[in-house]
């Protein structure tokens, strides 16, 4: 299933010690056999019980447990407005968007990370630097953290030659949104990229890989100048898989000259600090050429990975994220 999730260590450590209402395994909602978390715990949008903001915040399923104060649900079909997004938010030239699932250059692998930057990303960058390899980061604006609070990490990844790409502002399912809401998600994040990096990415990965079969989604992304990338190989690290289970995906990936785009998450501590560095070494040993997504598609000039829209800015009072800015709509 093409879903992204931070499986918190809280759940992994405590699931055997806590009683989550009616649930017997810490899972809930439609993906958890319709089990409930009871009245003391929240059911996250991905079907796990807990009490963190990741469980009780965006997408919390109120039918299967409690939800925190000020929770913002997945955006409804009724457009809302935003007073913080300028109508001249930067975009790239229109393209015909198609779902790119794997590399074009034979024998290459693009190892990608979704949902960050996070507190674990700097450690991952340290590992990648020591190994001399490049990755691709599909970045959110206001999901597990605020992009502005992690601006230095984003700048570092960009300057060290990793590819920075879009993953929407707040990680909604684009297939459920109107055109105006999709534009808000993309342009709100473009605004942040422009402030922090002075560029906007031309590659995007839709959350959950959802919407690539929807003309409204693909046409809107194309109009905004985005090339759409999903994946052909998924570690499912978000499910709390062990290091060995995740690494088996790399070990069993079809050998060169086949190519792969692999999905991981740098919001997961084990992935960023332990599993991913081993994965890079495995693919090196298997004689894959490790590249960014753009490079594995044959686009080696990094200037073509972005559109330059100005110069990086210094942080000011506009560099903020709030619950109320997670959804919106623009014409």
Active site residues: 114, 265
**Is residue 56, in this structure, part of any structural domain at all?**
yes
Dist CA 213 CA 257 (whole Å): 28
Helix, strand, coil % over all residues of the chain, rounded to 5: 35, 15, 50
Q: Beta strand pairing status for 227-229 and 203-204?
A: parallel
List, in order, residues 6 or more apart from 182 with CB less than 8 Å away: 174, 216, 217, 220, 221
Give the closest residue to 81 by CA, choosing from 159, 188, 161, 6. 188
Same domain for 159 and 59: no
Asked if residue 269 and residue 214 are part of one domain, the reply reads: yes
Q: Do 297 and 160 share a structural domain? A: yes
Residues 256 and 213 in one domain: yes
Whether residue 138 sits in one domain with residue 60: no
Q: Are residues 57 and 119 in the same domain?
A: no
Buried b (16+ CB within 10 A) or exposed e, 80-96: eeeeebeeebbbbeeee
Q: What is the pLDDT along the chain (331 residues), one digit of tens a residue?
A: 444 433 333 333 333 323 334 666 566 776 667 778 777 777 776 666 666 565 677 667 787 788 874 333 333 333 333 434 544 567 777 888 999 999 999 999 999 999 999 999 999 999 999 999 999 999 999 999 999 999 999 999 999 999 999 999 999 999 999 999 999 999 999 999 999 999 999 999 999 999 999 999 999 999 999 999 999 999 999 999 999 999 999 999 999 999 999 999 999 999 999 999 999 999 999 999 999 999 999 999 999 999 999 999 999 999 999 999 999 999 8
Same domain, 171 and 249: yes
Q: Which domain holds residue 47?
A: 24-71
Rounded to whole angstroms, the Cα distance separating 245 from 247 reads 6
Whole-model pTM: value is 0.76
DSSP of 12-56, one letter per residue?
HHHTTT---TT-SSSB-BGGGTTB---SSSEE-TTSBEESSHHHH
Q: Distances from the Cα of 206 to the Cαs of 74, 94, 186, 210, 310, in angstroms?
A: 15, 17, 10, 6, 26
CATH code of the domain in which 249 resides? 3.20.20.370
DSSP state of 40: S
Structurally, how many domains does the chain consist of?
2
- For residue 19, being part of any structural domain is answered with no
């Amino acid at each position: 299933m093409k879903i992204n999730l931070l499986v918190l260590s809280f759940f992994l450590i405590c699931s055997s010690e806590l009683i989550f209402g009616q649930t017997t395994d810490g899972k809930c909602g439609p993906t958890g056999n319709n089990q409930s978390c009871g009245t003391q715990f929240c059911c996250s949008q991905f079907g796990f019980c807990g009490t963190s903001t990741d469980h009780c915040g965006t997408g919390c399923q109120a039918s299967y447990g409690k939800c925190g104060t000020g929770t913002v649900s997945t955006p409804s079909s009724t457009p809302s407005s935003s007073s913080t997004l300028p109508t001249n938010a930067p975009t790239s030239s229109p393209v015909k968007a198609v779902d790119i699932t794997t590399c074009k250059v034979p024998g290459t692998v693009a190892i990608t990370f979704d949902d960050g930057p996070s507190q674990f990303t700097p450690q991952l960058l340290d590992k990648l630097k020591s190994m001399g390899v490049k990755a691709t980061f599909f970045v959110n604006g206001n999901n597990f953290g605020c992009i502005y609070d992690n601006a230095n990490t984003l700048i570092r990844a960009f300057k060290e030659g990793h590819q920075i790409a879009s993953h929407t502002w707040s990680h909604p399912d684009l297939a459920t949104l109107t055109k105006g809401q999709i534009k808000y998600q993309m342009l709100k994040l473009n605004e942040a990229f422009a402030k922090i990096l002075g560029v906007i990415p031309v590659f995007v990965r839709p959350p959950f890989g959802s919407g690539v079969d929807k003309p409204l989604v693909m046409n809107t992304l194309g109009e905004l100048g985005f090339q759409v990338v999903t994946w052909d190989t998924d570690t499912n690290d978000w499910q709390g898989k062990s290091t060995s289970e995740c690494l088996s995906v790399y070990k069993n990936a079809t050998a060169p000259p086949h190519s792969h785009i692999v999905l991981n998450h740098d919001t997961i501590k084990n992935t960023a600090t332990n599993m991913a560095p081993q994965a890079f070494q495995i693919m090196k040993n298997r004689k894959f050429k490790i590249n960014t997504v753009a490079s594995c598609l044959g686009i080696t000039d990094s200037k073509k990975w972005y559109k330059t829209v100005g110069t990086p800015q210094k942080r000011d009072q506009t560099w903020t994220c709030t619950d109320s800015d997670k959804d919106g709509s623009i014409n």
